[in-house]
Structure 1
């Protein structure tokens, strides 16, 4: 699995694909869909599809693929390698949704929640398989939201294909288990090798599971919160965990058209204003290096003009 395309710009979504087996262009195929990383406040969410001829279902089952959450990292890596070695009849595709993509989608003016983003991503991957010539006849999906409504939506979008949407589909259908493994392996590798474009220096990568309730994750979020610029693009800033920390620890911004007067509006959050960040005392109090915004522009604090 080559992640170079995403590593080059991890602020946007990226699709990775395997070679399409010739047999999948000739025989009726089944396809499974699953995701990894829906809940964490850190890192991307990865959607995966895996497909193979219906005649090869038992071969896929014989690989002993299982729900990725029930496997160790080593077991997932070994199973992904087994899937890769079976490329004569197994294909896969991944859509890596960067934290920045997730956050900007959820916070845009028109409502676009995580379920809608998930549905659209899954639909895009199925359409990719069809456009690539894969002879899809069956699609199995781990549900997002009510299973019946999701199944109806996909059936209307892809007439002629038998759609099955079930909770815990990754433990019921081997082709969904295989998609789950592909997605989880990709997410784990991306998170481990995350390229911080913000040049944070020697970043502590002991951020725990990435889930909001993890004390290690909370400690990491607190440590790497910039009081003006917020978080790096490794963080999903649309998550309430990140938003709460930014609201309580960051400096306040006052806009001229605020109803409150300038002095009161500037002090309503944490008793700090944006101007205090740029003062000599504010610079002396900061424990971290200046944000790259300043270093790239060779900007420095001055005391006199």
Structure 2
């Protein structure tokens, strides 16, 4: 968790996000109020940006002492989807101002990380990515000293299974997992707002390493049904290299667009040179002979390094 940066308002949040690497996951936890270390707390968990084809998915938590939870209602915490952007930003700023009572944290999961996980050889679904993020945030709160008593979670998949999964990991806490928890429990609503505001502003300050010129809001909301987003997928598809790193290329929306816009490529098997026909290599050929000249690594094209592509393949 990044803890050496104090976020007191939206401007601080944007500064923090813009200083990070878009291709990597980034986490942040606020300063934990002293009262949250000495008095039992409730903790809420929710996400923003699960469905969009563009941008990161953000998981958020909020926490406060059980006897102080009335403050969440005073701040008008509600399901972030039911609030407009201006209201969400206002509530987020007010959450930051209540730093002696409320704490929060976010986990920004990059589009590249999401796609690499979903397309890996080992099955690693978006649900599992989500659960791992939630678990990581709970552990970060623990490490920071939050005295957790009860955790409220907006579900991913069947709520009963998710609740059992979390209870097995955290048996000392009371855990409630429910559908639409962000509209039922104010502490989850606060987490929802922190996650949504973080995602919105992450998109506003998104830096394109591909050096393409996209005006602010030029890619829309990121949801597949948004006409501006649809047009972005058409305008910014390279026929050879595909999409910029903002795009979740594992989504069916982008896959279908690539089929129509990108060149079709057929990969041929490359025959290895200097390999005996019977493929019976001497075992000593697998070891480096002392005194032999070191093999020099060729510099890889930045396309591969920017996308964290590796030669190591796990079977």
Give the TM-score range, shorter chain: 0.7 to 0.9
TM-score, with length taken from structure 1: 0.82
Task: Quote the offset at 1:203 in angstroms.
Answer: 4.6
Instruction: Give the corresponding residue for 1:221.
Output: 233
Work out whether 1:59 is the aligned partner of 2:71.
yes
> Does structure 1 conserve the Cα–Cα contact (< 8 Å) formed by 2:17 and 2:205?
no
Question: Could you tell me which residue of structure 2 aligns to residue 42 of structure 1?
Answer: 54
Could you tell me which residue of structure 1 aligns to residue 34 of structure 2?
22
Q: Is the 8 A contact 1:227 1:250 kept in 2?
A: yes
Alignment partner, residue 124 of structure 2? 112
Paired residue for 1:270? Answer: none
Question: Contact (CA 8 Å) 2:14, 2:205: kept in 1 or not?
Answer: no
- Is 1:143 aligned with 2:143? no
Residue 173 of structure 1, aligned match among 148, 172, 185: 185
Q: Say what the alpha-carbon RMSD is for the aligned residues.
A: 1.7
* Inter-partner Cα distance in structure 1 for 2:168 and 2:235: 47
Change (3 A) 1:203 1:232: farther
Which of these residues, 89, 100, 103, is aligned with residue 112 of structure 2?
100
Structure-1 separation of matches of 2:181 and 2:216: 36
Match for 2:209 among 184, 197, 205?
Answer: 197
Pick aligned residue for 1:206 from 210, 218, 222 = 218
Scaled by the length of structure 2, the TM-score of the pair is 0.80
User: In structure 1, how many angstroms separate the alpha carbons of the residues matched to 2:80 and 2:216?
Assistant: 26
Give the Cα–Cα distance (whole angstroms) in 2 for the partners of residues 256 and 74 of structure 1. Answer: 53
Cα distance between partner residues in 2 of 1:247 and 1:104: 19
Unaligned runs of 5+ residues in structure 1 are 259-291, 294-305
Unaligned residue ranges in structure 2 (runs of 5+): 1-6, 8-12, 271-301, 304-315
Structure 1 residue 215, shift from structure 2 partner? 2.2
State whether residues 35 and 47 of structure 1, in contact with CA within 8 Å, keep that contact through their aligned partners in structure 2: yes
1:5–1:14 Cα contact (<8 Å) kept:
no
Relative distance call for 1:193 and 1:112 in structure 2 (3 A) is same
Quote how far apart the aligned CAs of 1:6 are.
4.1
Q: CA offset at residue 214 of structure 1?
A: 2.0
Question: Counterpart of 2:244 in 1: which secondary structure?
Answer: coil
Higher helix share: 1
